[in-house]
């Protein structure tokens, strides 16, 4: 099974197949407008600008499960991204990433790229772990998405390559994206 087996809902309510992105390197991100990690939209847009001509796409999935940091409508979430961060990559309808109502896509992503732990040398990671342990300790167990801006790199075959946690800055793994994009372009 690959991510091409899943469908997602666009902001306008249309349902599309992720098979529409076949052959592209993808970065899937659960996002929120009112999160301390929201400024990552800037770096995500920089990555998109840098690699989009090389069969690369970022897909953003707003989620209100973490501190209710995406309380608005689908349209408000998309508008926020475009107006405040100049986002040009697709922002989809809000969905859930954890629990009984987690979207099947995110269930698949978590199975394919389990949680690798918190980097105890990173202050943001320590603070995130502390906050989660106080507010939602059940999220510390297993492979659940720990917070907004968890990112998944998908290769051109629809396979999950790697999971990046919220505290990992998008520009820090640009080399992974470049490697994946180069590999897929060589195999065309």
Question: Cα torsion for 90, 39, 161, 21, to the nearest 10°?
Answer: 10
Question: What is the C-alpha separation between 15 and 80, in angstroms, rounded?
Answer: 22
- pLDDT tens figures, 25-52: 999 999 999 998 899 999 999 999 999 9
pLDDT score of 40: 94
Which residues are paired to 28 by β-bridges? 59, 152
Cβ–Cβ under 8 Å, residues 44 and 168: no
Helix or strand or coil: residue 67?
coil
Question: What is the C-alpha separation between 159 and 182, in angstroms, rounded?
Answer: 16
**What are the residue boundaries of the structural domains of the chain, listed by start?**
3-179
pLDDT score of 187: 66
Neighbour count for residue 164 (Cβ, 10 Å): 20
Average pLDDT of the residues in 174-180: 92
Tokens 């953003």 sit at which residue? 60
- pLDDT tens figures, 75-106: 999 999 999 999 999 999 999 999 999 999 99
Q: Which residues are catalytic?
A: 35
CATH class of 3-179: alpha beta
């Amino acid at each position: 099974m690959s991510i091409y087996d899943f469908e997602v809902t666009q902001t306008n309510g249309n349902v599309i197949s992720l098979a529409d992105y076949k052959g592209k390197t993808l970065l899937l991100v659960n996002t929120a407008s009112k999160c301390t990690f929201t400024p990552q939209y800037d770096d995500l847009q920089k990555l998109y600008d840098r690699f989009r001509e090389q069969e690369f796409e970022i897909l953003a999935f707003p989620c209100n499960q973490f501190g209710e940091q995406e309380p608005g409508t689908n349209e408000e979430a998309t508008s926020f991204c475009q107006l405040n961060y100049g986002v040009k990559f697709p922002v989809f309808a809000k969905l859930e990433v954890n629990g009984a109502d987690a979207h099947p896509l995110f269930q698949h992503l978590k199975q394919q790229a389990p949680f690798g732990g918190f980097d105890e040398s990173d202050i943001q990671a320590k603070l995130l772990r502390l906050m989660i342990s106080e507010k939602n300790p059940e999220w510390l167990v297993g492979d659940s998405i720990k917070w907004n801006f968890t990112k998944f790199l998908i290769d051109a075959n629809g396979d999950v390559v790697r999971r990046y946690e919220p505290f990992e800055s998008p520009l820090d793994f640009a080399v992974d994206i470049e490697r994946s994009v180069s590999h897929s372009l060589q195999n065309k």
